[in-house]
Amino acid sequence: MKFIHTSDWHIGRQFHNVSLLEDQRHVLDQIVGYIAKEAVDALVIAGDIYDRSVPPAKAVELLDEFISKICSDMKVPVILIPGNHDGAERLRFGSRQLSSAGLHIIGDLKQIEEPVILASPSGDVAFYGIPYNDPETVRNLFDADVTSYDDAHTFLVERIKAVKNSAKPNVLISHCFIDGAQESDSERPLSIGGADRVSYRPCAAFDYVALGHLHSPQYKGEDHIRYCGSILKYSFSEQDQNKGVTLVELDRSGLTEFKHLPLKPLRDMRIVEGEMQAILAQGKVDPNYEDYLLVRLTDRHAILDPMNKLRAVYPNVLHLEKPGMLEVGEQKMNRETLKRGELEMFRDFFVQITGQPLTEDQGEAIEQTITELNTQEAQK
C-alpha cells in the first residue's frame, strides 16, 4: 500500500490581502503529478482543506476540480477529515453518497470507529479518522469525563484502539497539536495558554499516524507519528521550511518506508534585508523577483515612499520593516544629530523631486532654517 499524506491546504487563503488561489493550484497540480508518478493507492488529507468554515466560491471550485481529477479520472480514493479551519458539517455534506465515488469524508465523531478499508497489492489497510474536536463536544457527545484537549483526544484514540484489527495495518488520521511539536505564526491557536496540546503516546500503537494542523514537516515522539506540513508557506516565519507531502508505504506487517516529496511554489515567501539601494539593484537582476517578500530596510535615514520604490523591482513586497530607523530612534539624539537628520531627509526629498542634489549654498540655507526653527521650538 502506497499513499500520500498531505494536510493544511487552506484553499481560499489570503495573505496581506493577496489571494493565494493561483499559488495553491500550482502546488495541487504537483500533487496530482506525484499521485501518477508514484502510482499511489490513496490520498490522505489530514484537515484544514479550506481556510474558512464558509469558503469562497472559487475555493470550492478549485477543490472540486482537484478531487474530481483524482477520484474520477485517476480512480484514486481520497480520505479526508475536517480541521479547525473547516466547517465540518458543510465539508461532510453528501459524504455517504460520495464514498461510493472514492471520496471518503470522516467528518462526524460518531464515525471514528468505522474505518475506511482500502485494498492494495500487499493487502487491506484500515484508515481511522479523528476530525478536529474540542473537549466540550466530546464530553457532550459521548457523555465522557473529559476536561482538556488531551483528555478528549486520548478518549477518542482509545475508542478506536478497542475496535481496530491488529491483523492488518492501521493508519490513524488526526488534526491536533502534539505536545512539544514546532508551531508557526500562521497556525490558528486551538485554545489559549497551551491547553490545546495532546500526548503522542496513545497514538503509538498505530502503524502510521497522519497528522494535520502544524505547518512544519516533522515527527514527534516516534518516527511514524508525523506532520507532513502545509503545502505552501503561509507566513514569513516559515521561510526556511521545505514544503511538501509525505509518501508512505506499508506492507502486511506495517510501515516499511516514508519520504518527503517536495513542492515547488509558484512564488516563494522570503525575507530580504539590506539598504534600499542594494535591494533595488538586486531586484533588477533577481530571477525570482515575483516572490512574496518581507523587506527589512537597514538604512538609518528616512526614505520617501519606500514601498513604491521597492515594488518597482519587487512587485509583491507585502510588508516593510525599518530596523535601521528604529536603531536610530533608540539612540539619544542631541539637537545637532536631530538637525543633521532633518537636513538629510530634506536632501533625499529634494533629489527625489528634482533629480538633482542640493547645491552647497542651498544646503547651508536649509541648515540655517532648520536651526532657526529648532531654536524657536525650544523657546516655546
Specify the pTM: 0.81
Instruction: Report the pLDDT value the prediction gives residue 343, as an integer from 0 to 100.
Output: 79
* DSSP reduced 3-state for 380: coil
Instruction: Report the pLDDT value the prediction gives residue 295, as an integer from 0 to 100.
Output: 97
d(CA 228, CA 177): 13
Start and end residues for every CATH 3.60.21.10 domain found in the chain: 2-262
Residue 367, CA distances (Å) to 155, 286, 329 in order: 74, 39, 21
For the CA atoms of the chain, what is the radius of gyration? 27
- Which one-letter amino acid corresponds to residue 155? F
Instruction: Report the pLDDT value the prediction gives residue 368, as an integer from 0 to 100.
Output: 86
User: Phi and psi (nearest 5°) for 76?
Assistant: -105, 120
Instruction: Report the pLDDT value the prediction gives residue 325, as an integer from 0 to 100.
Output: 74
Instruction: Report the pLDDT value the prediction gives residue 193, as an integer from 0 to 100.
Output: 44
Instruction: Report the pLDDT value the prediction gives residue 190, as an integer from 0 to 100.
Output: 58
pLDDT in 10s for each residue of the chain, 380 residues? 999 999 999 999 999 999 999 999 999 999 999 999 999 999 999 989 999 888 999 999 999 999 999 999 999 999 999 988 787 677 766 566 677 678 999 989 998 999 999 998 888 999 999 999 899 999 999 999 999 999 999 999 999 999 999 889 999 999 998 986 666 665 555 544 456 889 999 999 999 999 999 999 998 889 999 999 999 999 999 999 999 999 999 999 899 999 999 999 999 999 999 999 999 999 999 999 999 999 999 998 889 999 999 999 999 999 999 987 766 555 545 555 555 577 787 887 787 777 788 888 888 888 888 888 877 776 76
3-state secondary structure labels for all residues of 17-81? CEECHHHHHHHHHHHHHHHHHHCCCEEEEECCCECCCCCCHHHHHHHHHHHHHHHHHCCCCEEEE
Q: State the greatest distance between any 2 C-alpha atoms of the chain, in Å, as a whole number.
A: 91
Which numeric CATH code is attached to 2-262? 3.60.21.10
Q: Cβ neighbours of residue 194 under 8 Å, at least 6 residues apart?
A: none
